Structure 1
Amino acid sequence: GSLFERDRDALPILLQIFSTSQYFSDLLIQDPGGYDLLRVTEGQPVHRDVLVAELAAEIDVLADPAAVSAALRRYKRRETLRIAYGDLIRGQSLETVASQISFLADAIVEAAVRFARRQLTEKRGRPGRPDGQPARFAALAMGKLGGVELNYSSDIDLVFLYECDGKADGPRPTTNVEFFDRLVRDVVKLLTEPTDLGYAYRVDLRLRPEGERGPVAHSLEAALSYYDVMGRTWERQAYVKARPVAGDRDFGHEFLQSLEPWIYRRYLSLADITGIKALKRRIEHRVSHEGDESRNVKTGRGGIRDIEFAIQFLQLLNGGDLPDLRTGNTLEAIAQLENVGCLTHQERSLLDENYRFLRKIEHRLQIMFDLQTHLLPEPPGELRKLAIRMGYRDAPQKTALAAFDADYQSKTAINRKILDHLLHDAFGDDAQTEPEVDLVLDPDPPPEKIAAVLGRYPFRDVPLAYQNLVSLATEKLRFLLTRRCRHFLASIAPGLLKTIAATPDPDSTLVNLEKVSDSLGGKGVLWELFSFNPPSMKLYVELCSSSPYLSSILIGNPGMIDELMDSLVLNKLSTRESLRETLDELSRGAEDLEPILHSFKNTMQLGVGVRDILGKEDVHASTAALSDIAETCV
C-alpha cells in the first residue's frame, strides 16, 4: 500500500512487467528494493565504458572466485532489470535495448578476464614475449554479441587469442600455451558454472580455429595461418560480426585488421556463393527435420536467419572495396547497403521493419522465463498472450491473434522472397557456370582469365567483348545502382553469353547490346527481370542481333526501358481504335504534337517488332498493325 501511495505509477508499471515476464517478476519479488532502483534509473541506457569500469571496480577488491562469480551474476540481474524497464516501460528502440544487453555482456566478460588473469599471474607469473614485454590477450565476440545486438537469453560466442608463444616468469616453468589455455578455462568457468544465482552466460567456443578439435586459445600467428590456409567461406561470414570485447582490445582490432583482406576479398566467387547457399540449406534441413520450421522465429523460412544471411551475403559480395559495409550490426548493414546501392529503398524498408518485428518477438519469448527459445507457442491461447505482449489488441474486424498471425505470415514470406531473389534464385549451383559468374564479379581479372573464359565463345575480338561485358555491369547514371547491376548481370552471365554466342555475329550482337542497354538507363532492372524470366533475355538478345531498326529506336530514344519491358510482356497487338484512344489521351492539351507523335510511333512499332521476333504474328498481321500506327499518326 505504501508503495502505491508514494508512487502512483507503480501499479501500471508492475502490471506491465508482471504480465510480460515471469523471470523479471521473480527478480523483483526476491529483491524488493530493486523496484525503487528501477524508478531512480528509469531504464536509461548506460555507456559501455561506464558499465565496464563499474563492474571492474567491484571485482578488483575480491579475491575469492566464488565471490566474483556471485558478483557477476548479481550485476547481470540488476542491469538486465534496468534494460528491461527501458524496453517494456519506456519503449526504447531495438538498437538501444540490444546494445545495452551487449554492453552488459562486454562488462561481465571483461571483469571475468581481468580477475582470472590476475589470479593466474599470481600463481604462474606473467606470460611474456621474446622482447620481455607482457604477451597481450584478447577475447573476440562473434555472432549477436559481436554485432552489438544480443538477446536477453542467448549464448555468447567467443574466440580467444594471445600474442605469441613464450613463457611465464613464475616460479615453475609455464609456457604461454599452457598459461592462456588455463586462463580461458578459468574465464569460461566464471561465466558458465551453475550457482545459487544461476550462470552468467552460456559460452560457445566452437567458432575458434579448428572448432572443437582446436585449442581454446590460439596465438596470433597460428590463427592467421589457419585462416590463410584452411579458412572456409562460412568462417569469413562469421567474422563479419567479430568484435573485440575484453582483454587488450587494441590487440583484437589489430588481428581483425590483419584478417580483413581474407574476410572481404576482392570479389566473392561462385564457389563462395555456393558455399553460403549450402550452409543455409543445411540449417534449413536441420530445422525441417526437427519439425519446428513454421514456428521458429530464428531459423524458420523468412525468419531472422534469412535476413541475416541475405545481408551478410551482400556484405561479403561488395565489402571488398566498400569499407562502409564492414559492420557486424544487422540494422546498420541494411542501411549502408541501401546507401551504396546494393538494396533498393523498398527492400531496405521491408527488411528493417521485418527484422525489428522478429527480434521483438524473440525478446518477448525469451524474457518470459529467461529461456533461450525461438519457438512460437503452439496452443492458440498462449500464442494470443504473445500477440497481446507484442501490442496487438482484439478488434471487431480481427482478433489480436489473427492480426499477429497475419503479420507474421506476411513478413516472413516477404523476407524469404527477398533472400531467394538476391541469393538462391539469382545464382545456380552448376560448377560449369562458375568462370562466367566470377569474370563479372571480379573487378580486375587478369588477361589470361578473360581469354580463358570468353575464349570458349565465338568472339573474334575477346578484349573488346570483355570491355562491352564490363559496360553491361555499370550504370551510366549516378543515381542508379551499379552494385546491384553487377550482382544480377553476374547471375545471368552464363545464359546471356550462351545466347549471344548462338547469334550469327556474336561480336556485333554484344556491341549492339551494350549500346541499346546504355540508352535505356536502369540496366540492373533488365538483368533482374532476366534472372527470373530467361525467355525475356533471349528475346532481348534476338532484338539486338536481328533487328537494327528496333535497336536504332531504342538507341535513338534514351530512357525507353519502361516501353521495352511493356513490349516484352505484350499479350496482343493494339487495335486501330485503341491506338486512336491512346494517342488522343497523350495529345490532349498539347501545344507541340511532333514529339508526342514520334514517341507514340516508336513505342507502338517496338511492340509490333517484338511480337514479330517472337513469332506471335504472321507477316500480314504485322504489316497491318504498322499501317494502323501510320494512319493513326496521320
Structure 2
Amino acid sequence: MNDAVNHPTLAPALAHSRCLARLFQRTPALADRTADELAQPFDAAAMQSMLTPPEADEAAFKRQLRALRQVVMARLIARELGGYSDLEEAVRTVSDLADLTVCAALDWAVSHETRYGTPIGEDSGTPQTLIVVGMGKLGGYELNVSSDIDLIFVYDEAGETDGERRISNQEYFTAIGKRLINLLADTTEDGFVFRVDMRLRPFGDSGALVSSFAALENYLLTQGREWERYAWIKGRALTGEASGLMQLISPFVYRKYLDYGAYASMRELHSQIRREVARRDMADNIKLGPGGIREIEFIGQVFQLIRGGRVKSLQERSTRATLRELARLNLLAPEAVDELLVAYEFLRNLEHRLMYLDDAQTQMLPSNDEDKLRIARSMGFAGWDEFCATLDRHRATVTRHFEQVFVLPDDQDRTHPHAALWQRAEAGDETMQGLAKLGYADTGEIQRRLAMFRGSGRYQQMSERSQRRIGAILPPLIEVAAGYPNPDETFARILDLLEAIGRRESYLALLAEHPQSLKRLADLYSASPWVSQYLTRHPILLDELLDQRLLYQAPDWPAAGDAIRHELAQVEDDTEAKMDLLRHFQHTQVFRLVAQDIAGLLPLEKLSDHLSDLADLVLAVTMEEAWRELPRRHVEVPQFAAIGYGKLGGKELGYASDLDLVFVYDDDHPDAAENYARFAKKIVNWLNAPTPAGTLYDIDLRLRPNGASGLLVTTVEAFEQYQCASAWVWEHQALTRARFVAGDARVGRSFEAVRDAVLRRQRDLSSLSAEVVKMRNRMLETHPGRPGEVKHCRGGIVDVEFIVQYLVLGYAWLYPDLTANRGNIALLATAATHNLIDATMADTARTTYRALRRLQHASRLAGRDPTQDALAPLAEGMAVVRALWQTLLGEAN
C-alpha cells in the first residue's frame, strides 16, 4: 500500500472505514492528496474549481462528477474520523456537494438538449427554467454522508418550446429531469454521485416526473396530506427562482392560525413509523427507532407546523436551528433543547460512522463484534458496552422529551364518567339530575344550553373529527366548572367560547390535546365575565394556557420589545401582517397580566405600572414602524414625541383604558409640519384600526391644544405658548398627569421642561379653587355621583385626583417636588410633608384612594358595581376625603 496510506493522520479513518481503504487502494494518489490537504475543509469554492465540464463527452462529465465525490468524501471521512471536523462541517460539505453537482448536471442537461429549443411560458411569453427542489436533509443543509437526495422537479408555466421541433414544456422538462437523474445516479465503474429519490413528488411514483406551478398548487389544495406538509418544511430550491415557489408552498405548510391539529397528524405518522420498525425488527435503527433522530426532528417540526404561520422565525429548514429558536421563544425549556441538541449531535455522528464503514445508507447498529468495536472506538469509547450505555441514555432522553411534547390526552382511550350529560343532553330530566348531583343550580338552563348546542346547525355541520373533539372537551369541562362557587356562570361562559370557536378546528384540537388547560380556562372564566369575553373575542390566546412558566412569568419589557421587533422584522413590508402581529403581542401580554392578576400575583399599582409600560412599548414600536412606512421622510429619525395624559400619563392604566395622547415635535425643517401630521394619522391608524386580530387601543386626542379643533401635532414652542397664554385651568389640571411616553427623548425632555415651568407658575389660590370646583361640578352634571360608582361619587376617586391637582397647581411654585409624576398616592404624602394638608388626613385619603381603585378594578372584572357591603368599610375614609375637599377648596361635598 502507498506510504501515504500509512500516514498517521489517516490512521484513525482507515482503522474504521473499509470503503475509504478500498478507495485508497484503487487510487493511491488520492491517499497522498487527502493526507496533504487534511487540515483544510472542502468548501463549495474548492469543489467548483474541480468541475470543468467537457464540451460534448457525457461519459467524461460523469467521471468528473464521480471523481469530485470521491475526493470530497475521502477528505471528509478522514477529517471527521481524525477529529479535524465536526458535525456542522460534515453535513454542510455533503450538502454543498449535492447542491453543486445538481446545478452542474442541470446545466449540462439543458445545454446538451438542443433538439427542441427553449421552453416558453404560454402566459408570460418568457423562457422557463427547471426548479430543482431539495427536500429532506438536503433542503436543511443537513445531508448524510451516504444519503440519497430527495428531489422534486417544478417549472413555472405550461407552454411549449420554440425550436423547429416543438414539444410541450412538460415533455421538455421531463426529458431534462431524466437526464439529470442519470448524470447523478447512474452507477458506472466510478460509482455514482448521489442516489436520487423522486418519491416525494405529487402522487409519488405514479405521478408525473415534473409539475408546473399550477399542477403543484392544485395537487396541494386537493390532495396534499399532512405528511407532505411535514416534508415541505425543508423544501429548498437548488436552482431557478425560489420566491414564486415559496409563495405557493408556504400557505400549504404554514397555516395562518395556530394549527394544533398537527399533533394528531404527526402522532399518527410516528405511529406508522413505529409499526413499520416493529414489523421489520428495526429497534436498533438510530434514525427511526425509539429515541432516534426522527423523533428529534418531529419535536421541532410539530412546533413549526403549529406556529410557523404566525412566527416567521420558525420557518427554518435546519433541525438544530429550529430547536434553538424554540428555546429562544420559550416554547421549549432551554435545558430540554440543550439535551436534545446533545443527543442529536451524538446520533448524527454515530449515523455517519455507520455509513463510513462501507459507504452504505444505513442507520442500523452493527451485529458483528468487529464492527461494534470499530463503531465504539470511533465514537471515543473503549468498548461496545460503554458506548451502548451512553447511546441508551441519549435515546431515553429523546424519548422522554418526545413523549412530553406528544403526550396523549388522558381520556384518549376511555369514556369520561360524565359523557352522558353531553351525549344525551336532550334527555332533560336525566341530564338535569346529573347536573344537580355535580352542584349546578339552574340545571334546566344548563341542560337547555347543552341540548341547543348539540342540536344546532353549527354543531351538526362540524366535521366528524371536530365533533369528537367537542365530545372529549365538554364532559371534563362540566366536571371542572362544577368545582367553582359559581358553576352555572362558569360553564355558561365556557359554552359561549366553544360555540364561538366551534368551526375553528385548531382551537378545539388545542383544548382536546391539552386537557390540563381546561382547569386554567375555568379559573379565568369563573373569576370574571370581562376576562371571559376578552378570551372569547381573542381565542388565539387559548395557546397561553398551555405553559404556566410563561403565563405567570413577570414581564420583562425590554426583552419583550426585542422579541416583537424581531418578529416584525421577519414580516418585512406586509403592513397588515405587522399590525396583526402587534395586536397578537399586546393581547398576549394583557392576557398574561390578567392571569397573574386573578391569581393574586400582582398588586393593583404594579398591574397598572405593567399595563402602562406595555402601552409605552406598543407606542414606541408603532411609531418606529409607522415612520418607516412614511413616504418622503425628511429625516431618518423623527424629532417627535408622544405625550401620555390621564391614566396613561399617571401610570394608572386599566385593562380597557383609552390612551389620551398629545403629539409634539421640535424640528424646523420646511416639511416637518406636513410630515409629522401624516405621521400622527398613521400612528393613530396603526393603534385603533380594526384588523382580523382586533384593535390595540382606543385613542383620545382631545387634550391637544385647542382640543378637537386644534392641529393634530404641534411644536414644543407652540405647545408652551398655548399653555402659558391660552390654556384653561382644567388643561393645567390635566398637565399634572402628563408625561413623555415614546419617541425622541430630546423632544421628551423639552416637553418635560415646559410642563415643569407651567406647573410651577404662582397662581391665586382663591381663583384656582373656584375653577377646580367649577370643573368638578361640570363633571357631576354628566357623571352624577351615584353611591355605588366609586369613581364619581363624592369622596371618591375623582375627588382625590382633583385635590392632588389643586395642590400641585397651587403650591408647586414653592415645592417643586410636587411636579414629579409619581401618582396621586405619593403626591398626597409629599403634600403632607410640606404641611399643606394634615398628615393623618393624607394617610387616610391615600388608603381610601388605593382601596377605591382596587374596588373599581374588581368591579370591572366582575362586570357589576360594588355592593353596599363592599363600600361600607370605606365610608369613613370617603368622609375624610370630603372633609379634605372642604378644607382645601372651601366647598362642602
Same fold (TM over 0.5): yes
Report the counterpart of residue 254 of structure 2 in structure 1: 264
| Structure 2: distance between partners of 1:315 and 1:54 | 38
Alpha-carbon spacing, 1:523–1:423, altered in 2? closer, same or farther (3 Å):
closer
Aligned pairs for 1:174-573 (under 5 A) are 174-246=167-239, 248=240, 251-293=241-283, 295-393=284-382, 400-425=383-408, 431=465, 432=467, 434=469, 457-459=491-493, 462=496, 490=511, 494=515, 497=518, 507-508=526-527, 524-525=547-548
| Structure 2: distance between partners of 1:555 and 1:23 | 66
| Structure 2: distance between partners of 1:460 and 1:329 | 40
Larger-gyration structure (1/2): 2
| Structure 1: distance between partners of 2:16 and 2:303 | 36
Report the counterpart of residue 7 of structure 2 in structure 1: 11
Structure 1 position 286, deviation (Å): 0.5
> TM-score, length-normalised on structure 1?
0.68
Report the counterpart of residue 24 of structure 1 in structure 2: 20
Structure 1 position 84, deviation (Å): 2.0
Structure 1 position 264, deviation (Å): 1.1
| Structure 1: distance between partners of 2:546 and 2:118 | 62
Q: Which of 150, 153, 168 is the equivalent residue of 2:161? A: 168
| Structure 1: distance between partners of 2:329 and 2:69 | 39
Alpha-carbon spacing, 1:340–1:491, altered in 2? closer, same or farther (3 Å):
farther
SS at match of 1:63: coil
| Structure 2: distance between partners of 1:499 and 1:24 | 59
| Structure 2: distance between partners of 1:496 and 1:266 | 22
Q: Does the aligned pair in 2 maintain the 1:43–1:83 contact within 8 Å?
A: no
Give the aligned residue type for 1:377. Answer: P
Report the counterpart of residue 145 of structure 1 in structure 2: 138
Give the aligned residue type for 1:32. Answer: P
Alpha-carbon spacing, 1:386–1:126, altered in 2? closer, same or farther (3 Å):
same
| Structure 2: distance between partners of 1:43 and 1:109 | 27
Report the counterpart of residue 475 of structure 1 in structure 2: none
| Structure 1: distance between partners of 2:164 and 2:412 | 59
Structure 1 position 49, deviation (Å): 5.1
Q: Does the aligned pair in 1 maintain the 2:134–2:151 contact within 8 Å?
A: yes
Alpha-carbon spacing, 1:178–1:55, altered in 2? closer, same or farther (3 Å):
farther
SS at match of 1:309: helix
Q: Does the aligned pair in 1 maintain the 2:286–2:351 contact within 8 Å?
A: yes
Deviates more, 1:225-234 or 1:455-464: 455-464
Structure 1 position 284, deviation (Å): 0.9
Report the counterpart of residue 886 of structure 2 in structure 1: none
Q: Does the aligned pair in 1 maintain the 2:226–2:265 contact within 8 Å?
A: yes
Q: Does the aligned pair in 1 maintain the 2:106–2:180 contact within 8 Å?
A: yes
Report the counterpart of residue 128 of structure 1 in structure 2: 120
Give the aligned residue type for 2:547. Answer: G
| Structure 2: distance between partners of 1:385 and 1:167 | 56
| Structure 2: distance between partners of 1:336 and 1:129 | 40
Alpha-carbon spacing, 1:436–1:80, altered in 2? closer, same or farther (3 Å):
farther
SS at match of 1:223: helix
Alpha-carbon spacing, 1:338–1:437, altered in 2? closer, same or farther (3 Å):
farther
Give the aligned residue type for 1:125. Answer: G
Give the aligned residue type for 2:118. Answer: R
| Structure 1: distance between partners of 2:272 and 2:79 | 38
Report the counterpart of residue 863 of structure 2 in structure 1: none
Q: Does the aligned pair in 2 maintain the 1:140–1:158 contact within 8 Å?
A: yes
Report the counterpart of residue 603 of structure 1 in structure 2: none
Report the counterpart of residue 34 of structure 1 in structure 2: 30
Give the aligned residue type for 2:86. Answer: S
Deviates more, 1:454-463 or 1:26-35: 454-463
Structure 1 position 508, deviation (Å): 4.0
Give the aligned residue type for 1:27. Answer: L
Q: Does the aligned pair in 1 maintain the 2:15–2:374 contact within 8 Å?
A: no
Alpha-carbon spacing, 1:315–1:487, altered in 2? closer, same or farther (3 Å):
farther
Q: What do you get for the CA RMSD once the two structures are aligned?
A: 3.9
Aligned pairs for 1:61-76 (under 5 A) are 61-76=54-69
| Structure 1: distance between partners of 2:99 and 2:495 | 58
> TM-score, length-normalised on structure 2?
0.49
Give the aligned residue type for 2:322. Answer: A
Structure 1 position 42, deviation (Å): 2.5
Structure 1 position 424, deviation (Å): 3.5
| Structure 2: distance between partners of 1:455 and 1:158 | 56
Alpha-carbon spacing, 1:514–1:303, altered in 2? closer, same or farther (3 Å):
farther
Q: Does the aligned pair in 1 maintain the 2:135–2:232 contact within 8 Å?
A: yes
Structure 1 position 18, deviation (Å): 1.2
| Structure 1: distance between partners of 2:137 and 2:228 | 15
Alpha-carbon spacing, 1:514–1:76, altered in 2? closer, same or farther (3 Å):
same
| Structure 2: distance between partners of 1:174 and 1:552 | 71
| Structure 1: distance between partners of 2:55 and 2:81 | 34
Give the aligned residue type for 2:492. Answer: P
Q: Which runs of 5+ in 2 are unaligned?
A: 414-464, 475-487, 502-506, 535-540, 552-597, 607-893
Report the counterpart of residue 593 of structure 1 in structure 2: none
| Structure 2: distance between partners of 1:202 and 1:24 | 19
- 1:6-43 per-residue CA deviation (whole Å, 9 max, x = no partner) reads xxx96322321211111111112222221332244325
| Structure 2: distance between partners of 1:458 and 1:286 | 46
Q: Does the aligned pair in 2 maintain the 1:270–1:437 contact within 8 Å?
A: no
Q: Does the aligned pair in 1 maintain the 2:132–2:237 contact within 8 Å?
A: yes
Alpha-carbon spacing, 1:235–1:429, altered in 2? closer, same or farther (3 Å):
farther
SS at match of 1:167: strand
Give the aligned residue type for 2:116. Answer: R
Report the counterpart of residue 109 of structure 1 in structure 2: 102
Structure 1 position 142, deviation (Å): 0.4
Report the counterpart of residue 156 of structure 1 in structure 2: 149
SS at match of 1:124: coil
- 1:484-530 per-residue CA deviation (whole Å, 9 max, x = no partner) reads xx9997466556548977x9x96448889999xx9xx99724899xx
SS at match of 2:237: strand
RCO higher in structure (CA 8 A, sep ≥6): 1
Alpha-carbon spacing, 1:428–1:105, altered in 2? closer, same or farther (3 Å):
farther
Structure 1 position 146, deviation (Å): 0.9
Give the aligned residue type for 2:234. Answer: K
The number of residues matched between the two structures is 482
Q: Does the aligned pair in 1 maintain the 2:91–2:144 contact within 8 Å?
A: yes
